Amino acid sequence: MAAPIIEVRNLTKVFGTVVAVDNVSFSMEEKDFLVLLGPSGCGKTTVLRMIAGLEIPTAGEIYLKGRLVYSDEKGIFVPAREREVGLVFQSYALWPHMTVSENIAFGLKVKGMKAAAIEEKTAAITAYMQLDGLRNRYPQEMSGGQQQRVALARMLVSQPDIFLMDEPLSNLDAKLRLEMRAEIKNLHIQTGATTVYVTHDQVEGQTMASQVAVINNGILEQLSSPKTIYKRPANLFVADFIGSPAINLIEGATGAIDTEEGTTVSLERDFWKAATLYKNIQSGRDIIAAIRPENIAVVPEEGFNTIPATVKTVLPSGSETVLRVNQGDLTLSVLMTREVELFPGQHINLYLPPEHLLLFDKATGQLLNLPEKTN
Amino acid sequence: MRKIVSVVGVLSLVMGLACTSAAEPFDETALYKAAKEERQVNIYSYSSRVFKFGKTFEAKYPGIKVNGFDMDSPEIVTKVLAEQAAKNYVADVIFLKDPSTVVNELYNKKLVFNYVPSDLENLIPAHYKEPLLVHHASVDAIIYNNEKMAAPPIKSLWDMTMKEWKGRVIFPDPQKLSEYIEVLATIVQHSDEMAADYKRVFGQPIKLSPGVKNAGYEWILRLLNNDAIILGSTNDIAKAVGLSDQAQPPVGFTAYSRLRDKEKNPKLKFEIMLDVQPAMGVSTDVIVAIVNKASHPNAAKLLIRWMMGDEKGGQGYEPYFVFGNFPVRKDVSAPEGSKNLSDLNLWKSDPDYVWKHGQEVLDFWVAHLK
Amino acid sequence: MPPSAARYALTPALGIRKRRDIKMFSRAKTYFRKPHIVISLILLVILLFIVIVPFGKMVKDSFVWQFADARLSRNSHPGELTLFHWKRVFAGPLTQNILIRPLYNSISTSLGVSVFAMVIGAFLAWLVARTDLPFKKIVASVAVLPYVIPSYIHALAWLNLFKNDRIGGVAGVFQYLTGISPPDWLSYGYLPIVATLSLHYFPFTFLLVSAALSSIDSRLEESGEILGASRTYILRRITFPLILPALLSSFILTFSRVLGTFGTPYFLGTPVRYYTLSTQIYSNIINRIPSVGYILAFVLIAISSTVIFVNQRMIGKGKSFVTIGGKGFRIKDMPLGSLRYPFLIAIIALFCAAVVLPFTLILWQTFTLYPDDYSIRHLTLLFWTGHANTAFAEGEAGILRNPAIIGAAWNSIKLALTASLLAGLLGIFIGYAVVKGRNTRLAFSVEQLSFLPYLVPGIAFGALYLALFSHRIGPLPALYGTFFLIVLVCVAKNLPFTGRAGITSMLQIGNELEEAAETLGARWSMRFRKIILPLSLQGAISGFILVFITVMRELSLIILLVTPETRTLTTMTFRYQEQGYTQFSSAISVLIIFIVVCGEAVSKKLEKRSPANR
């Protein structure tokens, strides 16, 4: 097996007394698209900057394409300019005193390329990025989306094997953001560059990533495929951070239900209980159950795993409808993909499918292990 | 090469000094020949008239350039001290007031040397040759507006402390113009005469204010308390007193030689008051000397000789042949219409006294500014 | 991994030590990898020679008997330690008059001037940068002129207007027209000093604030407008906080500058015995009691430092605004409506008072045959173009024919150019080192040290350089008498201007702009040349202009250091004033103004062509 393209080991960064990045490790293969996801100030940008070589870590090791570029133990630090990575900044960081062409050509000039070759490459990339008519404009004379394209073009023209992107779309309006999302994904597919992409927008993260790393307070909470992150969040933070509307959290305790296959576990709460697929967990343990809004169904009759509830609000939005319902002191969100004829105050029954009920340990916040076969 | 030149320079300087004591005849041709090889001479001068005698010198002795540089006397001393420390001997000749400082800070430390041209040995009184050669004496005195006032309004220095002169006497700021420290110190030095004159004017012995040492200090105190106006430039004082069309012009201390300002400005109408008791002013020696290790010693000597002029005044001395500057040569008298120094009722400032007491007097002045 | 673990297990002590050594070595290596650290260290070495050593000498000399102290005390032993000078200043019979009263006067004039100059300068800057004021471009280009005109000309103009007959001579225009003799407080002392110096120094604030305003994206203000905020509310809550750093640094610059100013306060204050601390410093140094002068300078430094400290508290550490990001920004003019022309008229009046009137006065003086005789009958060109060796002006040639003046003019230009270029370049480096190293002790010391010379009055600084550099220090040969020494002292004294300008402009350049170049493989030298230098040039040019003007007009700083070969125009004016030839000295002043205006025009051209100005 070839060496990973990016490998980060025990990476730590301390600013003064604040631990910004805490012992983060991961590795990426060729063509991986890793999204560093987390709330602002969580340390995700710092990780990216350390990979780029713009920030000197406090401890740990970084390998790029098998080359050790940072190690505190071995006293190695390769500066950014020798790492050959492409970086796109949140602010685009276009040089206001240079035209589009000059901005793009800069990296090639640095490499000492001949003028003719620079011209050729610049022309090619501006055409590719649909910036043809803008070559002699200055950045401040262009729209945000155009500036973003220039920033991408400037990175692409040097043909780096690694793309690093720091919230590149956060300054664009919603429509443009969708367009650019597709464009960046497309770029990734065409170039095959290993990409690390920082965002705080979990939808953006989910749609673009091949791998998602959720970071909180400098700690890597979970690193998995977007699907796993969504379906099997490793802990309550990830569960809560991913998904919109947010996952429903229900505090309760475990109870035992004996079945043929052994003892399954139920979620027990005030006046109702619901079956889960968990097995062999000590009864009476404090837990927090979680279920995604789209996994709850509204059913006409009481039955297996249903609970009664009252409709509080109905929030239709085109193809989807979000219900807010009350069950005792609990408020749950329900996402329905069909039209519903419900009104506030109406009594309904909610079906909680056992396979979608996740249980987290209340004390640690960690996901309790599900039996293998349900995965 | 430079080193050799300066060695030669030092040697010839030493020889030159030996020569003066031997009173040999002044050999102008030989000196010019030697000076010509040095090509130039740098002179630091307290007076801008350096450019005038420089020009006539250059005309008389072609091949030698005079680099005149004018600045305040204290600055000249500061600069020479720095140059000697840096061993960067720029100045060859210094020409300045403030003899007390020159003697104590430069001459006594052997940073400047005396040079008296041998042919002048007998033409200059001893006290103008030792320890350093005096070029001329400069006088500070009191001026009045003779357009408005028919006669000099002041008869005694004590008049200036009287009510009628309240706010109408201008005195140069000794904090800025160091030569007026000399004037004040000299008045203090002559406190006995000040006391006697007080008695003459007021008919009773002076009663000193608490903490005041003598009548000289008392005069300073009363002058300050009489709302004397302080100005930082003698040129401004001449204008303040002398400009025509004034209703009530003040009187003021200034340099006697300011009289020549009247030629530049016909609107100036002022005169010196000659009959003031106990003295009409203070005279100060203006010194000219050669700097230690001067790079152009022969040109320096030739220049000093030129500055001292001839029996009629002479071209070299001409810029100073004016009212208010008094020649030291016995064979040259003051310009026509001017009295000779010896005829004036003056006090001569005493470098030693000024060195020892000048600062004390200035401190007194500063402490009593209100 | 296992083999090395085994080795560590065998020799644990050695292993741990080795690891720690490697760690420390690697820390050091990565530390020096940062260009701003290397630059800071180089700057510190330069500052060691031009700031720390002189400052150390200042401290030392204040505790040591000097030779000329023999005049002060019979007990003086040159070279030995003493507290005499400190006692003389702080606990002697003179304390009241050399320290306390002058100190009070210094602080009150400096405060007055800084407040007025700040208000005038900031308001003007706002009008020019942010509103639809008519003739904005012209206003902007003449705004710096009051600083170009020597401040003593402002003082002279004031006296020509408001002089009463207290000090004799001819009374001013006010008395001539009204027949009323102005009261002393209008003619001399506090009010005239504050008024004239405010008119002279407001361009400081104007330059700094308009630079700050022009780099603030007006979308920041517009977004406030969208939220429904009133105009004054936006000014107060958005614009004001954004320019606060510029305002406060202009306050510091003006305050400290006025504290050290000698000429105008002396000229206008002496007739009513209104002395400032700078008078005392000047007088003590000229009188060769430098120790006392230095101690008084320490007092000035202490006051300025306090003001700066309070200032920094007000701005709050690290509260800076990056206003040039990688995105473009735009500026929108605010309509003044019916106030457009009233404001314009007020500005015209201001410029009449600060520029036209004093300049006309000084220019007229150069044509007068007799000083103070302004009648048309007696006008002449002789002081400009007269031939030498005539009966006129004691044989002096007009200044345009006078080789000494022309030589001095070249010296002045050479000095101002080299000093401002060097100081400007150093300023950019200081800005870079300070901004990139924010909140590190190294950057802090570079910033503070580079500002220190500004607080030392020129005459004291000149005296220090004279005393220090007349000897050889370490690798430096004795520099006295060289042109370089004069350049050096001017650079050191003006570093605070360019350093501030450098810091301000660097603060506005987002970090990413350099980082983007870094990730594209550019070495530091290239990043500096292609990115940092062009982007900071606009800010640097305004610092450069200020230094150029200041050096062209410098007198007290260099008077002790010039030699016949290196004398400048300013040192020549002294001679003519002493001689009573106001015409010549005025003509030289006009020549200086002319050179400065040309210099400014050229640098404005360069600024326009500078790529950052698009």
Predicted local confidence at residue C613, as pLDDT: 46
Contact (CB<8Å) B247/C575: no
Distance CA C465, CA B61 (A): 37
Residue B349 covered by a domain: no
pLDDT in tens, C250-271: 888 899 889 888 888 988 998 8
Instruction: Please give the average per-residue pLDDT across B106-131, as a whole number.
Output: 92
Both B278 and B296 in one domain: the answer is: no
Q: Which chain B residues in 340-359 lie under 8 Å from chain C, judged by CB atoms?
A: 355-356, 358-359
Both B212 and B97 in one domain: the answer is: no
C481 contacts chain B (CB < 8 A) = yes
C555 pLDDT tier (thresholds 50, 70, 90): confident
Both B176 and B209 in one domain: the answer is: yes
CB atoms within 10 A of CB C293: 28
Residues contacting residue B162 through CB under 8 Å, at least 6 positions apart: B226
**What mean pLDDT is reported for chain C?**
82
Residue B157's CATH number: 3.40.190.10
Residue B11 covered by a domain: no
Residue C120 has pLDDT above 60, yes or no: yes
ipTM of this complex: 0.86
Distance CA C547, CA C541 (A): 10
Hey, which chains touch C, using 3+ CB pairs under 8 Å? Answer: A, B
Predicted local confidence at residue C24, as pLDDT: 64
Predicted local confidence at residue C392, as pLDDT: 67
Residue B235 covered by a domain: yes
Q: Examine chains C and B and say if they touch (3+ CB pairs below 8 A).
A: yes
Residue C328 has pLDDT above 50, yes or no: no
Residue C614 has pLDDT above 50, yes or no: no
Both B179 and B124 in one domain: the answer is: no
Give the chain B residue whose CA is nearest to the CA of C556.
B75
Q: Which range (A223-227, B258-262, C232-236, C324-328) has the least confidence?
A: C324-328
Instruction: Please give the average per-residue pLDDT across C167-176, as a whole number.
Output: 82
Both B241 and B180 in one domain: the answer is: yes
Partnered with residue A36 across adjacent β-strands are A198, A213
Contacts of C611 in chain A (CB under 8 A): 97-98
Residue C247 has pLDDT above 90, yes or no: no
Contacts of C72 in chain B (CB under 8 A): 359
Hey, which chains touch B, using 3+ CB pairs under 8 Å? Answer: C
| A contact set with C (CB within 8 A) | 52-54, 56, 72-77, 79-87, 89-98, 106-107, 110-111, 138-142, 144, 147, 151, 154, 158, 164, 171
Per-residue pLDDT of chain A (375 residues; tens, 9 = 90+): 568 899 999 999 998 888 999 999 999 998 899 999 999 889 999 999 999 998 889 999 999 999 999 998 888 888 888 898 999 998 888 998 889 999 999 999 988 899 999 999 999 999 998 888 899 998 888 888 899 999 999 999 989 999 999 998 888 888 888 888 998 999 999 999 999 999 998 888 888 899 999 999 999 999 999 999 999 999 999 999 998 889 999 988 888 887 776 677 888 887 788 888 888 788 888 899 999 999 999 988 888 889 989 999 998 888 888 999 998 888 999 998 877 788 899 999 999 998 899 999 999 999 988 765 544
B197 contacts chain C (CB < 8 A) = no
Residue B15 covered by a domain: no
Helix (H, G, I), strand (E, B) or coil at A267: strand
DSSP B114-154: ----GGGTTTS-GGGTSSS-EEEEEEEEEEEETTT-SS---
Give the chain C residue whose CA is nearest to the CA of A140.
C328
Distance CA A76, CA C75 (A): 64
Number of domains in chain B: 2
Instruction: Name the most confidently modeled range: B166-180, C377-391, C501-515.
Output: B166-180
Both B307 and B272 in one domain: the answer is: no
Within C137-216, strands assigned E span: none
Predicted local confidence at residue C390, as pLDDT: 61
Instruction: Please give the average per-residue pLDDT across B351-363, as a whole number.
Output: 92
CA of B253, closest CA in chain C: separation in Å? 13
Both B143 and B39 in one domain: the answer is: no
- The residue count for chain C: 614
Both B107 and B252 in one domain: the answer is: no
Both B143 and B268 in one domain: the answer is: yes
Q: Determine the structural domain holding residue B168 and report its residue range.
A: 139-283+354-367
Amino acid (one-letter) located at C288: R
Both B179 and B50 in one domain: the answer is: no
Residue B34 covered by a domain: yes
Instruction: Please give the average per-residue pLDDT across B40-67, as a whole number.
Output: 90
Residue C10 has pLDDT above 50, yes or no: no
Both B182 and B291 in one domain: the answer is: no
Predicted local confidence at residue C387, as pLDDT: 78
Both B67 and B122 in one domain: the answer is: yes
Contacts of C269 in chain B (CB under 8 A): none
Q: Is C344 exposed, middle or buried (0-12, 13-18, 19+ CB in 10 A)?
A: middle
Q: Name the more confident of C315 and C309.
A: C309
Contacts of A92 in chain C (CB under 8 A): 325-327
Give the chain C residue whose CA is nearest to the CA of A105.
C520
**What mean pLDDT is reported for chain B?**
88
CB atoms within 10 A of CB A268: 18
CA torsion angle C565 C570 C571 C577 (round to 10) = 140
C223 pLDDT tier (thresholds 50, 70, 90): low
Residue B3 covered by a domain: no
Residue B295 covered by a domain: yes
Q: Is the pTM of this model over 0.90?
A: no
Distance CA A129, CA B114 (A): 88
Distance CA C413, CA C589 (A): 14
Instruction: Please give the average per-residue pLDDT across C8-26, as a whole number.
Output: 49
Hey, which chains touch A, using 3+ CB pairs under 8 Å? Answer: C
B11 contacts chain C (CB < 8 A) = no
Q: Name the residue among A74, A83, A94 with its Cβ closest to that of C326.
A: A94
pLDDT in tens, C52-67: 999 999 999 999 998 8
Contacts of A75 in chain C (CB under 8 A): 22-23, 25-26, 29
Residue B324 covered by a domain: yes
C467 pLDDT tier (thresholds 50, 70, 90): confident
B263 vs A100, B238, C370, C414, CA distance in Å? 72, 13, 9, 37
